[in-house]
Amino acid sequence: MEVALAAIVGLFFAAAIYLMLSKRIIRMLLGIALFGNAVNLLIFTAGRIASEVAPIIPERLSVAAGATANPLPQALILTAIVISFSFFAFLLVLAFRAYQDLGYDDTDGMRLAEPLSDSPPPMGY
């Protein structure tokens, strides 16, 4: 099971990087969202998938009697989901405003910061 999830994580990362290298802003945003999901799945896979008992220690013991589930990856993933969703929402609004102002979804068309000119850029100070 963990080998299959590791392969899926690799595919998610490959697809995310492919989308982030695109010239279109929407594809870049989808790549960022997919990258966040790949990281979450990686943390989940690293935290072991085997079904274990809940990490609750009885009163009479100071240490758990057997193997217990690790709650840290679950807490990290929950936090990462909230952060990645808010980051994606911010980037989506930013991309929409850029499209409204510039009229382009292509990064080659968004050249206001670097206008095309006949003279080369300065080569030194």
Which residues lie below 8 Å from residue 77, measured CB to CB, with a gap of 6+? 40, 43, 44
Q: Is the pLDDT assigned to residue 111 strictly greater than 90?
A: no
Q: What is the pLDDT of residues 20-71, one digit of tens each?
A: 999 999 999 999 999 999 999 998 888 766 666 677 777 888 887 777 777 7
* Amino acid at site 110: M
Per the document, the length of the chain is: 125
State pTM to two decimals.
Answer: 0.75
Q: Examine the pLDDT at 76 and tell me if it is beyond 70.
A: yes
36 versus 125: which is more confidently predicted?
36
Side-chain-facing half-sphere of 89: CA atoms under 13 Å: 6
SS3 of residue 24 by DSSP: strand
The percentage of the chain sitting over the pLDDT mark of 70, rounded to a whole number, equals 87
- 3-state DSSP of 9-46: HHHHHHHHHHHHCCCEHHHHHHHHHHHHHHHHHHHHHH
